[in-house]
Amino acid sequence: MAKKETEKKEYLTKRILFSRTKKAFKDAAEDAMNLVGYVVVAEDGWVVKKHQDGRVERIKELDQVEQPQRIILD
């Protein structure tokens, strides 16, 4: 079956991918918050539990990881 000439293809660009991923994570976090009353996230070097009433409970400090130095080739 031939496709219609007027049918447009939507290409998956980096911008579209990031936008939809961000929305999906936000929606999932909101659903989790409504379901169990809290979400666990990494924030400012800590793993924290954010409660529905606004409380933030620090669970564990994350270890700092050294980033490898950039290699610039001539």
> Model confidence over 32-60: pLDDT tens digits?
999 999 999 999 999 999 999 999 999 99
| Helix, strand, coil content of the chain in percent (nearest 5) | 30, 25, 45
Q: How many residues does the chain have?
A: 74
Measured from the Cβ of residue 48, the count of other Cβ atoms closer than 10 Å reads: 19
31 versus 16: which is more confidently predicted? 31
Q: Please give the model's pTM, rounded to 2 decimal places.
A: 0.61
| Residue 13 in this model has a pLDDT that exceeds 80 | yes
Residue 6, phi then psi, degrees to nearest 5: -80, -10
